[in-house]
Structure 1
């Protein structure tokens, strides 16, 4: 296995902007271990949702489930200031796969992760401690997330030491669980209407997701809104 991955809050890591960078390009440069195409899809989906709803968001979390759970595959960005806030390990559901997630579900009691775009809601303290509810925005794909209690929470089984020994971290019941040491800070960065994008190269979802089909004009409007918030 490769050397232990760098984890943790990156405390507003930013890079000088390149002239003409789109938001997707700028965020991909901040996270060189991420697939830039996945970052681009996440930005497109998030901007599409904000344009359609009229509800802006300043933070975007990207989960790439095509990567093994032993590698950091969760990135949290400040999209207004174009900064990387977190780069983390994240768990998938026990029925999604072993070291690699390959199966996804929207069904209650499936114990599997869901794909697609989510908008975060409120926080609460439950059996897994401080947790963040999410609304799944894609019918038939993740819209049962609230009913299934698919939330972001901390878990002791999410740790690099286990990944090094076992080749994977522990698995959840479908929740994108993170390390307990950073759970509260990460949740506080994402609570209250921010965006979460969970990716896997599922051909049916990629072809059918309404949030990946916004027009260039709609996306340009969203980029302009982000730029305006950055200048305020």
Structure 2
């Protein structure tokens, strides 16, 4: 289904564009192609969502998934992401819930559903405020491309590049990365009534961190969602 989507993109482009003397595709052309190819995004998202193999795990809420899919398709068409993996984090949910999913979009299978931390200044049990500012210790919403793995103070960690100007574009300079944390666990929730919090990073459980970051490294898509109007109105990848 995904392959058919991208085949359609190129078909539409060559169908609606008149011959020119150059092979260069302008930014305007790309926007037109994407706009045409995604006219049926709601039906497409519904169809894909209904066909997802939950693999005995839960699914993200449809609203969150549909927005993630829309941005994923646009970023894939623009070459900003290279892998058919979509990581979805839903910060509208309690930190006591498993609110991170990794979906193989080629096989349409949910591979992981686990806990993930938000920034300490974004909220307590629930994340409510977000920032792109250094030293804010808040999470940033939006679409990211996964970068390279490195070893830091938390062990193996995965760098993230924010793809939305003014929303998460300072992620790399802020050192917003995926890393393991002791406070991302059922035992921490049992003792503290909520998951632990990071300095803004989407921190993962210790026992899953290595396999997850090794899976999604290298230009896969990560989407952090919250239905805050400020983000929904500012993002150019959701509309």
Aligned partner of 1:186 in structure 2 is 212
Q: What TM-score, normalized by structure 1, do the two folds share?
A: 0.79
Aligned partner of 2:69 in structure 1 is 43
Structure 1 segments unaligned to the other structure (5+ residues): 1-19, 214-232
Closer, same or farther in 2 for the Cα pair 1:25/1:205, shift >3 Å? farther
Structure 1 moving runs of 4+ over 4 Å = 28-31
The Cα of 1:188 is off from its aligned counterpart by 0.8
How many aligned positions are there? 194
Aligned partner of 1:80 in structure 2 is 106
Match 2:188 to one of 135, 147, 162: 162
Aligned partner of 1:141 in structure 2 is 167
Q: Secondary structure at the match of 1:144?
A: coil
Q: Distance in 2 between matches of 1:205 and 1:112?
A: 14
Structure 2 segments unaligned to the other structure (5+ residues): 1-44
**1:172 matched to 2:198:** yes
**Structure 1 vs Structure 2 CA RMSD:** 1.8
Q: What TM-score, normalized by structure 2, do the two folds share?
A: 0.77
Q: Deviations over 1:57-96 (max 9, x none)?
A: 2111000001011110000111111111111000000000
Closer, same or farther in 2 for the Cα pair 1:137/1:24, shift >3 Å? farther
Q: Distance in 2 between matches of 1:150 and 1:54?
A: 19
Closer, same or farther in 2 for the Cα pair 1:29/1:44, shift >3 Å? farther
Q: Deviations over 1:127-161 (max 9, x none)?
A: 01100001000000000000001000110110011
Q: Distance in 2 between matches of 1:160 and 1:68?
A: 13
Structure with more relative contact order (C-alpha pairs < 8 Å, separation 6 or more): 1
Q: Is the 8 A contact 2:53 2:110 kept in 1?
A: no
**1:124 matched to 2:150:** yes
Q: Is the 8 A contact 1:92 1:177 kept in 2?
A: yes
Matches within 5 A, 1:44-83: 44-53=70-79, 55-83=81-109
The Cα of 1:49 is off from its aligned counterpart by 1.1
Aligned partner of 1:22 in structure 2 is 47
Closer, same or farther in 2 for the Cα pair 1:106/1:55, shift >3 Å? closer
Q: Distance in 2 between matches of 1:55 and 1:105?
A: 23
Q: Distance in 2 between matches of 1:196 and 1:54?
A: 12
Q: Secondary structure at the match of 1:124?
A: strand
Larger Rg: 2
The Cα of 1:115 is off from its aligned counterpart by 0.1
The Cα of 1:162 is off from its aligned counterpart by 1.5
Q: Secondary structure at the match of 2:68?
A: helix
Q: Distance in 1 between matches of 2:80 and 2:94?
A: 35
Q: Secondary structure at the match of 1:121?
A: strand
Q: Is the 8 A contact 2:180 2:209 kept in 1?
A: yes
Q: Is the 8 A contact 2:102 2:113 kept in 1?
A: yes
Closer, same or farther in 2 for the Cα pair 1:56/1:26, shift >3 Å? farther
